[in-house]
Structure 1
Amino acid sequence: MAEIRGLLFDKDGTLFDFHSTWGGWTARVIERLAGPSAETRRAVAEVLGFDLDARRFDEGSVVIGHTVAEIAALLTEFAPGRPVEALVADLNALAVRNDMVPAVPLVPLFRRFREMGLKLGLATNDAEEPARVHLENSGLTPYFDFVAGFDSGWGGKPATGQMRAFLDRTGLQATETAMVGDSLHDLHAGRAAGMRTVAVLTGIAGREELAPHADIVLPTIGDLPGWIGSFGGA
């Protein structure tokens, strides 16, 4: 088996705990669109797959794997007369200011990845601008060789454009890399690109859902160094 020389990460639910990070963002989106109407708040929450009382996401929530543009398109009924592009800008502005909760201590882990000689990339269905802000605010920018959002020119997951762009940027072969994520979108994209696939359990989906589509399921990305080392990797 070829050694692992590169890791391509999803962002939300992988680097950052999903419920803790995006519950607040979703609540603010609902408040922005619904205003004081309790009925409209419930309707927006239902579209987003979000329990306002528990501040938890349904397993099928569109916030989990969809792009910002896809989410905005679903919300246009609550913003009559506003183009999708304007909603996308609003959602991105809220995302830039979002408080990100790390799934594990990130800087020491990514320093270790670098010491292992790994090339590192980010492939998210978030937009590129907030993704770069989140990395910068978390002290991770110096560790990434590649960052792509759904709007970076390669599309979003589960398509493989971001994966192929990462391979082009780093010069690695697909068999030398692993796509690491918390959703089926991540795993389907990685597998279709010929990468190994690693599922983590810091998002919404559980082991039973993810395991058939992953080479391995790990509790968190903090377990990656041990997995890589288990077959003589970097």
Structure 2
Amino acid sequence: MTIAAILFDKDGTLFDFEASWSDWVHGLIAELAGGDAGLAAALAEVSGFDLTARRFAPDSPIIAGTFEELSERIVPLLPGIGAQELAERVNVMAAGARMVPVTPLGPLLAGLRARGLRLGVATNAAALEAASHLEAAGIAAAFDFVAGCDSGHGAKPGPGMCLAFAAALALEPARVLMVGDSLHDLHAGRAAGMRVMGVLTGMATEADLAPHADAVLPHIGHLPDWLAAEGAQLSAVR
């Protein structure tokens, strides 16, 4: 079945995960710790982040989870602030994080739209953060649909955002390709009945993603060639 739309994850898919978030998380921990080295170390441990190497552990809740989930982990270390208040504070700070695109996104997205494809974003970040990062990158207008974990469709790996995208465009889910860098993305797309593609610009390896994906690419810049090959295969079958 021909692909009519592509739904992208944000962090690790449109934007390189570690290049975009490592310095920001280092600064967040330093701010929350307020100069207390012991507290900083404890915050880093529960966040799955190496302060010295500025790298994420493979199981870091920051990689595929929400800031609400992260806040629930770290709030016991910060007396006097509630998890929801902390999550709101972190979400506002995250909206200003400097994102590093995995490839020149403007030309790529324009080319996909020129093929007649509809585009969307489904992220476990907050909608405010997503909108801010897409605007800052100059690509917000390329998307027909943008949903965050707080947009009313649930968070990945649940299929809610994926199904909402298909419904918004009046498309069968089978005609949508979900593209992401984590198992959360692939499981969400698969549960919605979509085709799923993994990319290696997050923290997961090809070995992690390949058993759960229809294809794995180095980054989304390879999508046009993959789509062309897919189209040629469909034509040959017909």
| TM-score over 0.5 (shorter chain) | yes
User: Which whole-Å CA distance do the structure 2 matches of 1:104 and 1:10 have between them?
Assistant: 15
SS at match of 2:179: strand
Q: Which residue of the partner structure matches residue 230 of structure 1?
A: 229
Residues 113, 225 of structure 1: 8 Å contact kept: yes
Q: What amino acid does structure 1 have at the position aligned with 2:16? A: D
SS at match of 1:122: strand
SS at match of 1:26: helix
SS at match of 2:177: strand
Query: Could you list the per-position Cα deviations for residues 8-62 of structure 1 after superposition, in whole angstroms to 9, with x for gaps in the alignment?
Result: 0000000000111011221122112212111111111111111111111111111
User: Which whole-Å CA distance do the structure 2 matches of 1:192 and 1:183 have between them?
Assistant: 14
Indicate the larger mover: 110-119 or 26-35: 26-35
Q: CA deviation at 1:231?
A: 2.0
SS at match of 1:231: helix
Residues 44, 78 of structure 1: 8 Å contact kept: yes
Query: Could you list the per-position Cα deviations for residues 64-91 of structure 1 after superposition, in whole angstroms to 9, with x for gaps in the alignment?
Result: 0111111111111122121212101111
User: Which whole-Å CA distance do the structure 2 matches of 1:145 and 1:185 have between them?
Assistant: 22
User: Which whole-Å CA distance do the structure 1 matches of 2:44 and 2:230 have between them?
Assistant: 45
User: Which whole-Å CA distance do the structure 1 matches of 2:85 and 2:69 have between them?
Assistant: 13
Does 1:98 pair with 2:114? no
Q: Which residue of the partner structure matches residue 85 of structure 1?
A: 84
For normalisation by structure 2, the TM-score amounts to 0.95
Unaligned stretches of 5+ in structure 2? none
Query: Could you list the per-position Cα deviations for residues 146-169 of structure 1 after superposition, in whole angstroms to 9, with x for gaps in the alignment?
Result: 000000000110001100100111
Residues 160, 190 of structure 1: 8 Å contact kept: yes
Q: What amino acid does structure 2 have at the position aligned with 1:49? A: G
Q: Which residue of the partner structure matches residue 158 of structure 1?
A: 157
Residues 155, 161 of structure 1: 8 Å contact kept: yes
For normalisation by structure 1, the TM-score amounts to 0.97
Does 1:194 pair with 2:187? no
Q: What amino acid does structure 1 have at the position aligned with 2:64? A: G
SS at match of 2:231: coil
Instruction: Report which structure shows greater RCO (CA 8 Å, sep ≥6).
Output: 1
The percentage of counterpart residues that share the same residue type is 49
Residues 25, 94 of structure 1: 8 Å contact kept: no
Residues 183, 199 of structure 1: 8 Å contact kept: yes
Superposition RMSD in Å: 1.2
SS at match of 1:114: helix
Q: How many residues align?
A: 233
Q: Which residue of the partner structure matches residue 139 of structure 1?
A: 138
Residues 128, 147 of structure 1: 8 Å contact kept: yes
Q: CA deviation at 1:174?
A: 1.0
Q: What amino acid does structure 2 have at the position aligned with 1:194? A: G
Q: What amino acid does structure 1 have at the position aligned with 2:68? A: A
Does 1:60 pair with 2:59? yes
Q: Which residue of the partner structure matches residue 127 of structure 1?
A: 126
User: Which whole-Å CA distance do the structure 2 matches of 1:62 and 1:176 have between them?
Assistant: 31
**Within-5 A mapping of 1:171-186:** 171-186=170-185
User: Which whole-Å CA distance do the structure 2 matches of 1:118 and 1:72 have between them?
Assistant: 37
SS at match of 1:230: helix
Q: CA deviation at 1:197?
A: 0.5
User: Which whole-Å CA distance do the structure 2 matches of 1:29 and 1:201 have between them?
Assistant: 25
User: Which whole-Å CA distance do the structure 1 matches of 2:101 and 2:111 have between them?
Assistant: 16
User: Runs (4+) of structure 1 moved beyond 4 Å?
Assistant: none
Does 1:118 pair with 2:137? no
Q: Which residue of the partner structure matches residue 48 of structure 1?
A: 47
Residues 154, 161 of structure 1: 8 Å contact kept: yes
